[in-house]
Amino acid sequence: MNFSIECEEEVDGRWIAEVPQLPGVLCYGKTADDAMAKAEVLAQFVGRDAELVDYEDYH
C-alpha cells in the first residue's frame, strides 16, 4: 500500500505526522523525523490490516 505522510510543527514545539489515506494514523514526535518515522511504522501495521478488510462494507 502506498501512502503519503504530512508533517507540521504544533504551537508547543511538538511535531505531528499524519497519513491522510489511513484515518487515525497520527503520531507526535520531538522532531519531524521522529514523528514521521513513528507514523510510517503505524501506517504499515494499519495498512496491512486495511488490506484484509473491505471498508466499503462499513460505509
Q: What are phi and psi of 9, to 5 degrees?
A: -90, 130
Q: Where are the domains of the chain?
A: 1-33
pLDDT digits (tens, 9 = 90+) for 37-53: 999 999 988 876 555 44
Q: How far is Cα 47 from Cα 36, in angstroms, rounded to an integer? A: 15
Band (pLDDT 50/70/90 cuts) for residue 56 is low
For the segment 5-42, what is each residue's pLDDT rounded down to a tens digit? Answer: 999 999 999 999 999 988 899 999 999 999 999 999 99
Whole-number pLDDT of residue 50: 54
Q: Are 29 and 17 in contact (CB under 8 A)?
A: yes
Q: Work out the angle at residue 15's Cα, subtended by the Cα atoms of residues 14 and 17, and round it to the nearest 5 degrees.
A: 150
